[in-house]
Structure 1
Amino acid sequence: MVKGVRDCLVTGYEPLIGALDLPDPDDRHVLAAGIKANAQVIVTNNVRDFPGAIVNTWGIDAKSADEFVLDQVSLDAKTVWACVRQMADAWRNSPVTTDDVLIRLEKVGLTRSVAELRGL
């Protein structure tokens, strides 16, 4: 990730951790990093541990990966579809089709996003 996305690491969030109250205290560092980075969204498949009443106070939403990708599809379906094709082209072990990528995305829980992409 560090090689692919410059400035992806968040630092200096540690002082915020103690002031945060989440259902799972082990998730406080995630919200603290989001606050420090001025994030709009925390993408997690553990949404229930990031209640809106708490994270929205900081101007942040918590969304599942499927919800997040579905939002991206609704914003720019052509770009998301191009990313799926790029993923298929980048596979190293064997030739992979876009349908293979969609099947794998479904298996990891992006069911609504994949349904939307298939409907394009």
Structure 2
Amino acid sequence: MIYPVIIRDLLLWFAYYDMYTPKWSNHIFDEWKDVMHRKGVSPDESEKRTLNLNNAFPDALVTHYETLIDHLELPDEKDRYVLAAAIKTNAHVIVSNNIKDFSEDVLDRYGLKIKTPDDFLTDIIDLNTEIAVEAFKEMVLNKKSPELDEYEVLDCLRKNRLKDTADYLHALL
């Protein structure tokens, strides 16, 4: 889950605070770059952002998963690379708003669950409330454009399908 920006930012701050280990693939970055281009981000800028993410989290990039793709079945074939990368890294959870595109039977076969970003983030907060609040506050302090206070960021989270996450963080502030 790399888009929208506010979701990506919170996920990455939680990862920065070692609350979970992010994993992504070049396929995911290709999809992300397509979204950025549609939003008016130049190819050079999207490439720079990709490099920055890989530099910030050098163990996150999954490779050598491509041979698995053709052996997987999902309702939407475009999601097979996500499943293949998750299998390759022995992940426990796939974070996506496209829950309907991942068959529970297929996920069970590989010991995987799928969670929305909201469910995933609330689970992380539940396990690490103090660290989650610290990471959230750090994210807010580093947010430059536009500069927002904690409550304005919580409103942004709510507007981007992270209502439970925002409500939970609000209760902890």
- What TM bracket, shorter-length normalisation? over 0.9
Higher relative contact order (CA 8 A, sep 6+): 2
TM-score, L = length of structure 1 = 0.94
Equivalenced residues, count: 120
User: How high is the sequence identity, in percent, across the aligned residues?
Assistant: 36
TM-score, L = length of structure 2 = 0.66
Match of 1:50 in 2: 102
Separation in structure 1 between the aligned mates of residue 95 and residue 131 of structure 2, nearest angstrom: 19
How far apart are 1:95 and its partner, in Å?
3.7
How far apart are 1:51 and its partner, in Å?
2.0
Matched, 1:67 2:119: yes
How far apart are 1:93 and its partner, in Å?
3.1
Letter in 2 for 1:82: E
Q: CA RMSD in A?
A: 1.2
Matched, 1:96 2:148: yes
1:29 to 61, 81, 87: 81
* Structure showing the higher helix proportion among its residues: 2
How far apart are 1:117 and its partner, in Å?
1.6
Match of 2:93 in 1: 41
Give the gaps of 5 or more residues in structure 2.
1-52
Give the gaps of 5 or more residues in structure 1.
none
Separation in structure 1 between the aligned mates of residue 93 and residue 147 of structure 2, nearest angstrom: 34
Separation in structure 2 between the aligned mates of residue 53 and residue 87 of structure 1, nearest angstrom: 37
Match of 1:10 in 2: 62
Residue deviations 1:5-32 (CA, integer Å, cap 9, x gap)? 1111111111101110101011000000
* Range with bigger deviation, 39-48 or 98-107: 98-107
Match of 2:138 in 1: 86
